[in-house]
Structure 1
């Protein structure tokens, strides 16, 4: 059996500063997610592709683009990539690093577990998804 992964203290600090998630959720996110550095200009997700993960911005700026047009800019604490996971659909927009970014990648299994065990996180993801769908 693999040893239990520990919460990344830098991720805990950033999520605590930039989200309204409670301490237990922050610790869980920092344990199940993987912090990833992505260079400026790289696509994190591509429109019309299958979804396998969602992301939380830890540092930097992410542009959300639909049909090549920027429709939103996201910063630390913002979640993206969740819509396709929540709705079991293809990605409806691309996400591109507008600056060098650091994100917390939450794989499909981690998201499923979080949605099942944390109703506040599930509600946050669903309401974010619904509001973004309505404005895009």
Structure 2
């Protein structure tokens, strides 16, 4: 997986993606995504680290540039993992509708998102 979802985008496309979301600051210990919940949002981390946990066991850690929550949106499933902030986070929040709008409007983002979701599912660390 690329180190950042933005790596596959032109600077103009990356700016469009950033502008489409809402900047958030989340405290350490916060859980922005819970296992077995609906796929209603995704986040791109801009600072900080998260733990990806399935059935309470950590299966991955992710950091800046990584997207979380996309796999369940792309695959139309419930979340398969819980995300817990290990540090304070800076993130860009996207509703599922906004993410789907970006996918329709920016083909390179659609490709990057699909690739990220597929790679996470293959590795078993999908933070859906």
Normalization by structure 1: what TM-score? 0.83
**Superposed CA offset, 1:72-123 (max 9, x none):** 1111101110001001110111111010111100111211111111111111
Q: Which runs of 4+ in 1 moved over 2 A?
A: none
Higher RCO (CA < 8 A, seq sep 6+): 2
Q: Distance in 1 between matches of 2:68 and 2:87?
A: 16
- Tell me what 1:47 maps to: 35
Corresponding pairs, count: 120
Q: Match of 2:66?
A: 78
Contact 2:21 2:92 in 1 (8 A): yes
Structure 1 or 2, whichever has the larger Rg, is 1
Q: TM-score, normalised by structure 2?
A: 0.88
Alpha-carbon separation, structure 2, partners of 1:86 and 1:55:
14
Structure 1 residue ranges without an equivalent (≥5) = 1-16
The alignment's C-alpha RMSD in Å is 1.4
Tell me if structure 1 keeps the 8 A contact 2:5–2:113.
no
